[in-house]
């Protein structure tokens, strides 16, 4: 069995993103910020092996949620992080999902602190208090909010 340990997100301002993820979503900074400069590294280094030789300069930090699943934030400085939004229907990761105490209130807080609410709040199972909404952080990343775990929201549901 595999478990998710963290999700990496590109942002255009690491310091602002750390502040936003801590103060708006309740994540805790556990490591970093770290800086990487290709000119100060050996020609063979972990960052360029993982991310590619085109990465000349970047910063990153690790944050964790209450369930020990983390968010790793990356600010690419050379080349610079672009805020180009890809289309949802294109292949690849397109959102992260967080369980929050109150979907409506957290969505409003996201909106008040520079993010956006992308959808209505939806009930996924009539007669059950299971709700979700799509939002976006101030850096262009889609964040889905759930009222309950995936198992409760969809497990044992008749199709």
Q: For residue range 65-95, list pLDDT tens digits in order.
A: 999 999 999 999 999 988 777 777 777 788 9
Structural fold of domain 1-82:
2,3-Dihydroxybiphenyl 1,2-Dioxygenase; domain 1 (3.10.180)
Rounded Cα distance between 155 and 144, Å, is: 18
Rounded Cα distance between 60 and 62, Å, is: 7
pLDDT of residue 44: 87
pLDDT of residue 23: 98
The CATH architecture annotation of domain 94-159 reads: Roll (3.10)
pLDDT of residue 1: 80
Provide the 10 A C-beta neighbour count for residue 150.
10
Q: Do domains 1-82 and 94-159 have the same CATH topology?
A: yes
Please tell me whether residue 35 adopts helix, strand or coil conformation: strand
pLDDT of residue 88: 72
- Domain ranges in the chain? 1-82, 94-159
**What tens-digit pLDDT sequence spans the chain (159 residues)?**
888 999 999 999 999 999 999 999 999 999 999 999 998 988 889 889 888 899 999 999 999 999 999 999 999 999 998 877 777 777 778 899 999 999 999 999 999 999 999 999 999 988 999 999 999 999 999 999 999 999 988 887 776
């Amino acid at each position: 069995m595999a478990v998710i340990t963290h999700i990496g997100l590109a942002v255009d301002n690491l310091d602002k993103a750390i502040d936003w993820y801590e103060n708006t979503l309740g994540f805790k900074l556990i490591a970093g910020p770290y800086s990487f400069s290709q000119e100060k590294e050996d020609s063979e280094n972990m960052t360029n092996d993982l991310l590619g030789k085109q990465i000349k300069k970047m910063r990153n930090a690790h944050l964790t949620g209450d369930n020990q699943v983390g968010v790793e934030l990356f600010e690419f400085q050379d080349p610079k992080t672009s805020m180009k939004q890809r289309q949802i229907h294109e292949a690849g990761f397109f959102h992260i999902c967080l369980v929050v105490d109150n979907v409506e209130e957290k969505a409003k807080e996201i909106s008040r602190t520079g993010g956006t609410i992308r959808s209505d709040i939806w009930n996924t199972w009539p007669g059950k208090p299971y709700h979700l909404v799509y939002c976006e952080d101030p850096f262009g990343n889609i964040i889905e909010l759930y009222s309950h775990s995936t198992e409760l929201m969809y497990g044992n549901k008749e199709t």
